Amino acid sequence: MATIIGIFPGIIRVLRQLTPIILMLGGVACLSTPMRWEKPGTPDAARDEAECRTQARQQAIDALPYGNGPPLYGFTSDVSMLQWKMAIDNDRAYLEEDLTRACMQQRGFVLVPVTTTS
């Protein structure tokens, strides 16, 4: 029993030292490759992307309205009005991104990784 207790402080010390490294590696693994829109003959896609995003935002709002809100909180549902709106906002953001991507592709743009020159 005494040897088991003596091992735990060593393990805990090692885990404390490794935690920042593990967290950093986890953060690096989550990083994605930066992407940009490209179309032959078009030097900058910013205007087209802004137009597509504006249209997509309005389409997402039209497709996913807030409606009348959740059922009565506490009586028939555990979802508050804030949670209800946040869930709809999340769905809208995903739909807006998909609609923007489809609009840009219809205009002939292709999403490519950003290349950095040193």
pLDDT in tens, 30-75: 667 888 999 999 888 999 999 999 999 999 999 998 877 666 656 6
Same-domain pairing of 68 and 14? no
Question: What's the chain's average pLDDT?
Answer: 81
Domain that holds residue 21: 1-31
Return the bridge partners of 73, or none: 77
Same-domain pairing of 106 and 49? yes
pLDDT at 80: 75
Count how many domains the chain has.
Answer: 2
CA end-to-end distance (rounded Å), the chain: 59
Same-domain pairing of 46 and 95? yes
Predicted structure pTM score = 0.66
Same-domain pairing of 16 and 38? no
Same-domain pairing of 99 and 42? yes
Nearest to 116 by CA among 46, 36, 45, 61: 36
Same-domain pairing of 38 and 75? yes
Residue type, 37: W
Same-domain pairing of 24 and 3? yes
**Strand bridging mode 110-113 / 35-38:** antiparallel
Residue 118, in any domain of the structure: no
